[in-house]
Structure 1
Amino acid sequence: MYKSPLALMVSLSTLAQYAAAAGFIDDSQLTLSLRNNHFTTDNRESRGKIGNAAYTGQNKEWGQAFVLSYASGYTLGVVGFGIDALGQLGVRLDGGGKAGKAGVSRTPGQLFPLESDNSAVDDYAKLGLTGKARFAKSELRVGTLQPKLPVLLSNDGRLLPQTYEGYQLTSKDIKNLTLVGGLIEHAVGRSSTNDTGLAVNGGTRQSNKFTYAGGDWAVTPALTAQYYYGKLEDYYVQHFVGLTHVLPIANDQSLKTDLRYFRTSADGANDTAAGRAEGYAGAGYASTTGKIDSRVWSAAFTYTLGSHTLMVGQQQLSGGSGFYQVAQNSLPNEGAGPGSYYLLTDRQVSSFIRAGERTRFAQYSYDFAGLGVPGLSASMIYLKGDEIRTANGPDQHEWERDIALDYVVQGGPLKGVTFSVRQASLRSGAVSDLDQTRLLVNYKLRLL
């Protein structure tokens, strides 16, 4: 972690110059990504079975992110070597502990790390370095990673992205087959500068060993099959199987089928009462308190007709607990959020992963290029979950509605700038109700 944002940027500039001098420049890339995020959460009163909590007001935060990403080329030879660097700087523009008018709080919530007095920091920065080696069509990466896999999905839903530390080997030497394997030992949360061990939601003890392997097989140009394995030592073992198929109907019509299945079971300490009592336990309802045991299947069908896209689907949880993957949000005094989940129900506010939960959902999207406005798009999704199991009382239910509007500037001095509005409402018997709005401006500038 770099204490000085200026020192961070200078270090990355020096690294880029060194890479050029060392001969990496031919295939090197240097990009600067800018993100402005105004994040408002309206914490509504509870209307469910957990009691009648009072209205707690709003959390408002506003920040500017700068992400400088450098990827070198490779040295010549049978085995090529290179280095990547990821410099991140977040600056607080508003929010973070100042009292506001009645019913409105400026307390920190989602975007920034906290000082010792629980106020948000003015800025925070972090630097990640990755060494890499390439042989034929295989690549080994060591250091900072941002996996995009069904069993481990880095979160980029706030100001700065979540990163992991470890090793990953990717091979494309076999035609139509991509194989991936790796080991993760630490993570740095999206709103944190500290690297920590790994856990799950509810887990307070750190594990430093998440191993994974799997692959994607393009059976045909239209059909892809996936299998992945993940094991977080002393927490869980997970298997994933996925199948996607795209059926062309006409020039502007298609039907996509997306089938997914996860099986997750306890490992090591989580499989024993003593281990769970020590903190190797999951949160939420479970047939055996804190023990991980779930099955999740989902099916979604997406029909596209010109500028219109309609998706409908269902997801079902079964077994003795909710769904779990690697997370940091329950580790004490870290302030780091969870990762993302490779689930069709992982949305702006909720993920619909409680024990026994059945979720039906539908999403409609429209591309306004069909009306002569290229760059403008909108979507709305509605999800309804029910049959949520509880220790006492009847099953609970919840619903979420998300609306998104995006515009990418098509020309002029602002070409490529993206303006986005995200609004979500959650009404739940399992947690307090809330409304959330995000105003985003994103821009990526190629420097090299």
Structure 2
Amino acid sequence: MTSKHRMVALLLAGGALPGAANADFIADSKAGLELRNFYFNRDFRQEGARDKAEEWAQGFLLRMESGYTEGTVGFGVDALGMLGYKLDSGDGTGGTGLLPADLSGGSQDEYSKLALTGKLKLSKSTLKVGALAFRSPIVSNNDTRLLPQTFQGVLANSQEIDNLTLQGGKINRIKANSSSDYTEMSANRIGGNSDSFVFGGGDYKLTPELTTGLHYGTLEDIYKQAYGTLVYLRPLGENQSIKTDLRYARSQEDGSFRDIDNKAFGAMFTYALGGHSFGAAYQKMSGSDPFPYITGSDPFLVNFIQINDFGNIDERSWQVRYDYNFAAIGIPGLTFMTRYVSGDNVEVNGSHDGKEWERNMDIAYLFQSGPLKNFGIKWRNASVRSNFGNDLDENRLILSYTLPLW
């Protein structure tokens, strides 16, 4: 029986349960429809490059989450149906990640995908089987395009011990943002193919302000990675705080695919004052390889931003960032962010002359009330310059609306 058939069987089984057992299953269920209108424009600026990647698309995401049946062990099921429609994409301007590519250099007119997840709950622990979308230091799904990327596998979470959160599981396939099909996994910039990523770890709150974590994962036959984290949030007075975020990862080969050696250190410090936040970060790669992570997923790096991750061989990078929440002056829902990251010392063709920088700016507004409540507008702008990669300017305009159904 396939995983999809198992999920359907779980859903039918839930419908056959007695009314008493169904009480929480139905009463705690929720559903919502999200509409995403996404315009993406990336202009390539280096000599000899293609002109641009430009597309406009409409997405529909129908989310349904059940509660759990009554009893010592509760059962439930979640479903996410997704549709993507092309509004505009000329020949040669595809490749934005919004839509699947076609043979003309453009994109397919439409695509769809279905994510079904069975779940069970015992005390303060949950187990999910099927389609997964989650975030952790060792692996996180990507949701920066028209439709989210998902994994297929098993995920367990537990909070049985006070202040300790445990997470672990196994992934065997990945479905990219612009794909309807699950595929094998590979490692970003490293390659290879694998059908197993096993991971586990936990985060422990030592004090109300201090949390430490340790996570471990293995992409079978490609790499294994250990990740340690430390986050300290120190209140300084009314509407003031300083946050320290430290991260260290050690990555090595697994199996005989190829030798892999990477050590990644990152530190970010953020000072918050009222609606203002001022941040600074440093990230350093060492070893003979770039930072490995599952292709298509999000890496847990302090300098992973809109386009680049600054995780190349021997790269060191610095970030400055500023955020402002306009709720501080009576305009809730309006936010602004800008940041700049500069990287150097990248190994390119045997030397360490590689340099790159990226600048980002986000402006977003989410209507808080009235007929447009839950309607959001976001403009994301970025520029990248590099002496070993692409030079590009990018704009993303995202309109979203979430309609609760029940």
Residue deviations 1:317-369, cap 9 Å, x none? 00111101111xxxxxxxxxx11111121111111010000000000111222
Whether 1:380 aligns to 2:330 is no
Q: How does 1:155-234 map to 2 (within 5 A)?
A: 155-202=142-189, 205-234=192-221
Aligned mates of 1:19, 1:163 — CA distance in 2: 29
Aligned residue for 1:6?
none
- TM-superposed CA distance for 1:36, in Å, is 1.0
Matches of 1:241 and 1:439, distance apart in 2: 35
Q: Confirm or deny that 1:429 pairs with 2:387.
A: yes
Question: Measured at CA, do residues 117 and 216 of structure 1 come closer, stay the same or move farther in structure 2, by a change above 3 Å?
Answer: same
Equivalent in 335, 348, 351 of residue 390 of structure 1? 348
Match of 2:262 in 1: 294
CA, structure 1 residues 383+202, in 2 after alignment: closer, same or farther (shift >3 Å)? closer
Return the alpha-carbon distance in structure 2 between the equivalents of residues 434 and 208 of structure 1.
34
Give distance in 2, aligned partners of 1:227 and 1:384.
Answer: 28
1:147 Cα deviation after fit: 2.3
The counterpart of 2:80, out of the listed 86, 92, 98, is: 86
How far apart, CA to CA, are the structure 2 residues paired with 1:153 and 1:385?
24
What is the SS of the residue equivalent to 2:327? Answer: helix
Work out which of the residue numbers 55, 60, 66 in structure 2 matches 1:66: 60
How many Å separate the matches in 2 of 1:248 and 1:303? Answer: 10
CA distance in 1, matches of 2:17, 2:366: 32
Is residue 120 of structure 2 the alignment partner of residue 133 of structure 1? yes
Contact 2:212 2:230 (8 Å CA) reproduced: yes
Report if aligned partners of 1:210, 1:231 keep a CA contact under 8 Å in 2.
yes
1:76 Cα offset (Å): 1.4
Between 1 and 2, higher relative CO (CA 8 Å, sep ≥ 6) is seen in: 1
Q: Which residue of 2 aligns with 1:306?
A: 274
TM-score (norm 1): 0.84
1:410 counterpart residue number: 368
CA contact (8 A) 1:270 1:292 kept: no
Partner AA of 2:346 in structure 1? I
Deviation (angstroms), 1:401: 0.4
User: Deviations 1:196-238 (Å, cap 9, x if unpaired)?
Assistant: 0111124554211100000111111111111100000010010
Question: What is the letter of the counterpart of residue 359 of structure 2?
Answer: R
Match of 2:40? 39
Listed as ranges, the gaps of 5+ residues in structure 2 are: 1-7
Distance in structure 2 (CA, Å) of the matches to 1:352 and 1:91: 33
Structure 1 counterpart of 2:401, which letter?
Y
* RMSD (Å) for aligned C-alpha atoms: 2.0
Ranges in structure 1 where 5+ consecutive residues have no aligned partner: 1-10, 46-52, 98-104, 272-290, 328-337
Structure 1, residues 75-133: CA drift from partner, whole Å, max 9, x if none? 11111111111111111111142xxxxxxx53343211123444311111000111111
1:160-185 deviation digits (Å, cap 9, x = unpaired): 00000001111111111111110000
Task: Name the counterpart of 1:281.
Answer: none
Q: Equivalences for 1:313-328 in 2 at 5 Å? A: 313-327=281-295
Higher strand share: 2
Q: Deviations over 1:128-170 (max 9, x none)?
A: 1111111111111110001201111100011100000001111
Whether the 8 Å contact between 2:205 and 2:212 is mirrored in structure 1 is: yes
Q: Structure 1 residues 203, 362: closer, same or farther in 2, change over 3 A?
A: closer
Q: What secondary structure, in the 3-state scheme, does the structure 1 residue paired with 2:27 have?
A: helix
Contact 2:189 2:292 (8 Å CA) reproduced: no
Task: Give deviations 1:271-313, integer Å, cap 9, x for gaps.
Answer: 4xxxxxxxxxxxxxxxxxxx32100011111000111100011
